[in-house]
Amino acid sequence: MTATGGGLGALDILILVVVGTGLVAAAVQSEKIVMNASNGPVEPVPPAIEWRDQFLGVTVPESDLVWMVGSHGKIVRSRDGGQSWSVQPTGVTVNLQDIDAWDPERAVAVGNDGIVVVTSDGGETWTQVSVPRSEITNKLIRVRCLDGGTAWAVGVMGMILFSEDWGSSWVRRSSEVDVAWNDIAFPDDENAWVVGEFGSMMHSADGGVTWQEVEPTSERSLMAISFRDSLSGVAVGLDGLVLGTVDGGLSWSTIDAGTPLHLFDVVWNQTEWIAVGGLGVVVTGSPDGDSWRAQRMSDNDLAWHTAVVSTGDGVFVVGASQGFWRAGTWIPVGRG
Residue-wise pLDDT for 246-269, tens only, equals 999 999 999 999 999 999 999 999
pLDDT at position 39 is: 62
Instruction: Give the chain's count of helices (H) and strands (E).
Output: 1, 28
Residue-wise pLDDT for 3-24, tens only, equals 333 443 443 433 333 334 443 3
pLDDT at 30 over 50: no
pLDDT at position 335 is: 64
pLDDT at 45 over 90: no
Which of 36 and 124 is assigned the larger pLDDT? 124
Which of 28 and 310 is assigned the larger pLDDT? 310
- Centre a 10 Å sphere on the Cβ of residue 209 and count the other Cβ atoms it contains: 10
CATH class, domain 55-332, is mainly beta
C-alpha distances in Å from residue 202, one per residue of 197, 216, 246, 250, 267: 12, 9, 17, 12, 19
| Average pLDDT of span 291-317 | 94
CA distance 33 to 54: 36
CA dihedral sign, ordered 280, 294, 180, 190: positive
pLDDT at position 111 is: 98
Residue-wise pLDDT for 85-112, tens only, equals 999 999 999 999 999 999 999 999 999 9
CA distance 114 to 140: 5
C-alpha distances in Å from residue 275, one per residue of 93, 263, 295, 309, 315: 29, 7, 11, 10, 10
Q: What ranges do the domains of the chain cover?
A: 1-43, 55-332
pLDDT at position 172 is: 98
